[in-house]
Amino acid sequence: MTTYIEGATGPWEVVIGLEVHAQVSSNSKLFSGASTEFGADPNSQVSFVDAGFPGMLPVINDFCVRQAIKTGLGLHAQINELSVFDRKNYFYPDLPSGYQISQFKHPIVGEGHLNIDLPDGETKAVRIERIHLEQDAGKSIHDQHPSKTFIDLNRSGVALMEIVTMPDISSREEAMAFVKNLRSLLRYLGTCDGNMEQGSMRADVNVSLRRPGAELGTRAEVKNVNSIRFMGQAIDFEVQRQMEILEEGGTIVQETRLFDPVRGETRSMRSKEEAHDYRYFPDPDLPPLRLKPELIEEIRKTLPELPEAKKTRFVEKLGLSPYDAAVLVSDAEFADYYESAIAAIKQQDDKAPKLLANWITSELFGAMNRDNLTISESKVRPEGIAELVDLITAGTISGRIAKDVFLQMWESGESAAQIVKEKGLEQVSDDSAIRVCIEQIMAANAGMVDEYRSGKDKLFGFFVGQVMKAMQGKANPKLLNDVLKEMLDGK
Amino acid sequence: MNELIKLNLSQARDKLLKKDFSSVELTSAFIKQMEETRGLNAFITETPELALEQAKASDKRIAAGSAGIMEGIPIGMKDLFCSKGTLTTAASKILSNFIPPYESTVSQNLKDAGAVSLGKTNLDEFAMGSANITSAYGPVENPWKKQGDNAKLVPGGSSGGSAAAVAARSCMAATATDTGGSIRQPAAFCGLVGLKPTYGRCSRWGVVAFASSLDQAGPMTHTIRDAAIMLEAMSGYDPKDATSIDISVPNYESLLTGNVKGLRVGIPKEYQVDGMRSEIMDVWHKGVEWLKQAGAEILDISLPHTKYALPTYYIIAPAEASSNLARYDGIRYGARIEGEDLTDLYEKTRGQGFGNEVQRRIMIGTYVLSAGYYDAYFIKAQRVRRLITKDFTDAFQKVDCILTPTTPTAAFSLDNPPTDPVEMYMNDVLAVPANLAGLPALSLPGGLTSDGLPLGLQLVGKSFDEVTLLNAAQVIETAANFQGQVTQMRKAS
């Protein structure tokens, strides 16, 4: 689906391509054995290789290679049996050897695709051009000293996958949906933790405009956008900026821009004329990377069920709505939680999977949002919420009571059964107890009974409420309805 | 001169094991000679105290019967190998204060074999040179002189300090590295055996890099047997070097048979380069005769792309060097010259830290990798390199090894070396093809010029077939009787 932006001089088509840098989940770096732990003291996780000492040599970390293959397979992409590491040469203090080892001409992963859901319910395939492996640079810290820059090399040599899309994305919503889906996929695969705030994932956003059907326009590249929200803002700003220039008859300069999250705008970093000549050439320290087809097949067998397949299964086998299914599969942790809860359900009830999904997406997610906790921090574990649903489907408690029980579970971590038992919240399904209560209510409201019997049916609800209130909400609603109707009707 | 220092490595090893003398005695004799020959400037850093400590430990291991294959042998270590705790300069100002916190694999292998290191030998800065005149620590002087002429001569380069030190008997053998002839050319200039092994035989880990796809460490010794022993000690697969090859290391010494019956030796016509002195042609012809007499079959062969080897080398080696030397920026280690801003700091540090030849090669390398020139130079050179390799592959269908001269000339004047870089680069014209093809190659003394300077013969072999080279070389060594030639010439004059 192509959407157009209406300008003063006619419609414009937005064309976006992304280069997502995803940190490979791995305990050690791409070419050295140093640790990759986040948040360690500056320069505490640096080997002599990472610091570019004389005579030090890179040796490829096989686990990172496997992670890249896994990612490629998750994106339905071509895995290249031969790939080559190149040196990208430039001087900067946080780049110790004076070059970054990357893959330029022959990346490890070739073309693939990732689907995104469009607002109209359609699915769009965004094509992946390539994924290559490269090492990260260190970090320059400019705010520790008035005139000096500090360097932290902990990140130097950390493995990154650069995932490059074709210019298939045509709106901020699509771009944001792509990054969300990609992040979710990478988490499923366990190949990147997707924590943008920690810098594990960031994107370079290429934006250009063209008249519908025309040739691609000149693009601007917004570097290092590190949140999905910022990406939306950066695209909005770029589209507006470029449209204004084009509509006034100007031309777009091919350049690198930086997003300023404080002002919500992009600023020019350097133009193509000032662009570095990186003098790429094959790294003579590293032989070409050759992958055996058997290795690729072995990794293919270890792929988990991916979000799309899981969503289809949730809808078709478990009867969830596409919306609920999408919410639950959007995060591997959510889906795992849900599936663990399903496995813990004891009551045979066809409605249970759907009921469970509702409880998770409404009550649990609501509480998580309110208290700003993640699902793994929740005291309500999958077995707990399954027990709560079991209590509902077994008729032990009503849905209304269950909400109170849930809140207490959320606060204290006690089990549902324990709370129900301690507080005596079991639903009353004893016919005679309900009858006694109804008799009392009818006696106390004789006038209303007469009105009801003379045809004022709407008063039925009033009696339900009164009885429930008298029974502290514990009456089995269905039984209450049946008995009340029978008694009011005087049968 | 103490008699002990006149021994060859293998002789000294046998006598140490028989306890004729101790390693401390042997090492002390070399320390004394190292001091007496200091005028050659062969060492950048002498480590006599460390050497004596190591010698004591060697004597203990010999007494305990746990001697390694080079136990107690005092050697020189080219100052390109990082030595833990000892200044390692690569003969550059930019590393004038660099003390590595690690030991290179090759030097560790030698330590593990029991070798005793006397110190770090001088070299051309970052191993870039063919005369050892680009060192920031001053030029090295060749112990050889022309008959009746006291003029100083260059020892060759880049491993000129190692060559001069071994030739002056201020160490028994030395490590060297060869990117484009840097072991073989100085060995030829100093009348020694120099062996560049197959690329991947010795680990490059911990060796300051010049051109990664060409650099290879090897031994510099007095005899072929010594080279065989030291090669075994230096070699071996190293998981820390991705270009190191996992092939077991033979006991080279035990494979020395001195038998070349039926060995097919190729003589490439393209190695008769312009301006080659007739004395060199004579030695080459003698080499052919010696091998023929020992039963080898001599075959004329062609290596048609030889003439492109030197220009190819001078594109690939500087390209890799320009990138390898980018790390010397004054930020983390090494010399730093402060500047007004970052660019100024870089320019001052690198402008003053690197010598002219290193700067020249960084500029050549940067140029050939630049956008717009990359295809015309670097890519083309890579293609030619493959053709040169194919020349050898084809030739080795017909022959088992190749015999050529090592250099087009003998050692030249230290005070008036060639000023034209290209003339200087011509020194390595016969050496670089083996580097480009990654093949093992060895130089040994074959004869003398009329004015008494050593001339080298080169043998090039198949990948990982150092054994064939050593055997053919040993036949020439025996037939040439180089020491005999020297004695005879000195008597005659």
d(CA B317, CA A250): 47
Q: Taking a C-beta distance cutoff of 8 angstroms, is the pair B323, A99 a contact?
A: yes
Provide the pLDDT for residue A268. 92
Given B78, B93, B111, B196, which residue is catalytic? B78
Tens digit of each residue's pLDDT (9 = 90 or more) over A276-286: 899 999 999 99
- Which of these, A233, A174, A226, lies nearest to A202 by C-alpha position? A226
d(CA B440, CA B228): 13
Q: Which amino acid is at A104?
A: F
Q: Taking a C-beta distance cutoff of 8 angstroms, is the pair B158, B130 a contact?
A: yes
Percent of chain A's residues with pLDDT above 90 = 71
* Residue B347 CA: distances (Å) to CA of B293, B342, B343, B369, B428: 60, 9, 6, 20, 31
Tens digit of each residue's pLDDT (9 = 90 or more) over B393-444: 999 999 999 999 999 999 999 998 888 888 888 889 999 999 999 999 999 9
pLDDT score of A272 more than 70: no
**Judging by beta carbons within 10 Å of its beta carbon (0-12, 13-18, 19+), is residue A179 exposed, middle or buried?**
buried
* Residue A330 CA: distances (Å) to CA of A97, A187, A265, A323, A375: 40, 10, 29, 11, 13
Q: Do the Cβ atoms of B329 and A60 come within 8 Å?
A: no
Question: Low-confidence residues of chain B, pLDDT below 50?
Answer: none
Q: Taking a C-beta distance cutoff of 8 angstroms, is the pair B9, B221 a contact?
A: yes
What is the C-alpha radius of gyration for chain A, rounded to an integer number of angstroms? Answer: 30
d(CA B228, CA B206): 23
Query: Which three-class secondary structure state does DSSP give residue A378?
Result: coil
Query: Is B162 a catalytic site residue?
Result: no
Tens digit of each residue's pLDDT (9 = 90 or more) over A463-491: 888 888 888 888 888 888 888 888 888 75
Which residues of chain A are within 8 Å of residue B327 when distances are taken between CB atoms?
A: 52-54, 96-98
- Which of these, A162, A163, A140, lies nearest to A150 by C-alpha position? A140
Query: Is B78 a catalytic site residue?
Result: yes
Please provide the average confidence, as pLDDT, over all residues in chain A.
Answer: 92
The shortest C-alpha distance from B441 to chain A (Å) reads 21
Tokens 């070059």 correspond to what residue? A99
d(CA A110, CA B11): 60
Top-confidence residue, A375 or A477: A375
- Mean pLDDT score, A164-180: 96
Tens digit of each residue's pLDDT (9 = 90 or more) over B230-286: 999 999 999 999 999 999 999 999 999 989 999 999 999 999 887 788 999 999 999
The DSSP string of B147-188 is TT----B---SSSHHHHHHHHTTSSSEEEEE-SSSTTHHHHH
| Element spanning A256, H or E | strand A255-260
Provide the pLDDT for residue B324. 98
- Mean pLDDT score, A342-352: 90
Of A140-144, A185-189, B31-35, give the lowest mean pLDDT range.
A140-144
Query: Is B380 a catalytic site residue?
Result: no
d(CA B106, CA B122): 18
Q: Is B346 on the interface with A (CB under 8 A)?
A: yes
Which residues of chain B are within 8 Å of residue A51 when distances are taken between CB atoms?
A: 332
Interface of A with B (CB under 8 A): 48, 51-60, 87, 89, 91, 93, 96-99, 151, 277, 279-281, 284-287
Query: Long-range contacts of range B304-307, CB-CB < 8 Å, 24 or more positions apart?
Result: B304/B270, B304/B391, B305/B384, B305/B387, B305/B388, B305/B391, B306/B268, B306/B270, B306/B271, B306/B388, B306/B391, B306/B433, B307/B270
Cα B139 from chain centre: 17
